[in-house]
A = this chain, B = another copy of it.
Amino acid sequence: MDANTNNIIPHLLTAQAGPFYELEKHILDHQVKIEIWFREKWQKLPHLFTSSVDLRNAGFKICAVDANLFPAGFNNLNPDFFPLCIQAAQSTLYDLYPKCMKVLIIPENHTRNPHYYQSVATLAEIIQKSGYEVRIGSMLPISKPQQIDLPDSKSLTLYPLQKIEGKLVSDDFVPCLIILNNDLSEGIPELLQDISQPIEPPPYLGWSYRSKTHHFVFYQEICREFSELINIDMWQIFPLFLDCGEIDFVQRDGIDCLVYKSEELIEKIQQKYNEYNIEHKPFVIIKADAGTYGMAVMSVRDPQDLRKLNRKQRTSMSVGKGGRTVNRVLIQEGVYTFETIGEEQSVAEPVVYMLGPHVVGGFYRVHKARSIDESLNAPGMHFEKLAFAECCNNPHNLNGSHLTQNQFYVYSVIARLALLACCKERANK
């Protein structure tokens, strides 16, 4: 076992542990019922091959706060669970594309990020060991194969791509499946239009079409049903949200609406805090509706501050990945992170990874400098990644004792609720 995963796991601050353990116990008591329910859902919805979900755990509530269909941290998973990844990929691809033998992965165009390419290489290795020929084909304008050195001292080769007679190929390599690890924030390139092979996920699930608001509408629907299933208050797993039409941060258009809705949301959160005797101050997160990479995200405690944003702040909120202009935002209940690590109590946020319907691991974003009410995924922010020390599908329901494997099972349940919401996005496009 890697030193990195040497049973160091985050713990909840004492005041918040009690309510979490209660919810955990409740979920464990309903484990079979929950798995049956998931199974019924998977039968009705189209699956997704790769996904990751960001969680925030405040103890009194644990929520999915973002879902990503183009995860970029496969290299941060615990290598001990690599066999689990291989098996999950194997059974998922077998179910989705039983006849396929050659898989093309299309990564992001981050030519300068070796850590990202390490993740792509890890995903490629998982798929290759599942029994597929794998090639990595780049949308960068390259004319010959390009070798990228990786942090683990191996390397990866990017191949140029061509569209020939409606098929995406890389020289003599004709894939039967294209796996997209590029979020298409800048739209669907011509190269990917009108090709005959299946693309997983479909390009219409890229960030040029996805909307966080839509996602959370589906997540709400899923959480409502799940909460009824095991009889909990939906708020325990769901962050309240509102949206706010068109916005232009630079021109200050729509700021009034943003202030008004933020106040409304903070009021609602306060009511729930009162109901649960929570003495913390409510806050909201404002994020670009089509945002990713932690860009254009802002934590707001006093909505009036929104009127005082300076030019730099407004500019930073108005630009998403790839320079895209932000013109819609989601106002979401801020969820405190009361999970901390080590003596320094660094703030930790779990990220759960899935292949098909299977949770295959995850890691914590651990940050020393950020506080418990800020997003830990922000551009330029340095965070450590700490692989989950245990698997997420092996809970152990013992009376009166808290085991870390149970905490990971709770993560896996909440993450799969968000995955179901993504599957609904796919079904409804």
CB within 8 Å of B: which residues of A? Answer: 1, 31-32, 34-36, 38-39, 42-43, 80-84, 86-88, 90-91, 94-95, 98, 101, 128-133, 358, 391-395
A131 engages B83 (CB within 8 Å): no
Partner of A358, one of B82, B87, B393: B87
Minimum CB distance partner of A356 in chain B: B91
Contacts of A95 in B (CB 8 A): 91, 95
Contacts of A86 in B (CB 8 A): 393-394
Contacts of A80 in B (CB 8 A): 80
CB distance from A56 to the nearest CB of B (A): 25
Q: Using A39-B94, A82-B394 as known contacts, say yes or no to A128 and B32 having CB atoms under 8 A apart.
A: yes
Minimum CB distance partner of A94 in chain B: B39
A sample of 14 inter-chain contacts (CB < 8 A) reads A1-B1, A38-B131, A43-B98, A81-B83, A83-B392, A83-B394, A86-B393, A86-B394, A87-B87, A87-B88, A87-B91, A90-B358, A90-B393, A129-B393
CB distance from A131 to the nearest CB of B (A): 2
Q: Using A94-B42, A131-B39 as known contacts, say yes or no to A83 and B32 having CB atoms under 8 A apart.
A: no
B87 engages A39 (CB within 8 Å): no
B39 engages A98 (CB within 8 Å): yes
Partner of A84, one of B35, B43, B84: B84
Instruction: Across the A-B interface, give the 6 residue pairs with the lowest CB-CB distance, nearest first.
Output: A35-B131, A83-B391, A91-B91, A83-B394, A86-B393, A36-B101
Cα(A86)–Cα(B360), bound, Å: 12
B131 engages A36 (CB within 8 Å): yes
Cα(A31)–Cα(B129), bound, Å: 8
Contacts of A43 in B (CB 8 A): 98
Name the residue among A32, A130, A391 with the largest chain B CB count within 10 angstroms.
A32
Cα(A38)–Cα(B84), bound, Å: 19
CB distance from A73 to the nearest CB of B (A): 19
A32 engages B98 (CB within 8 Å): no
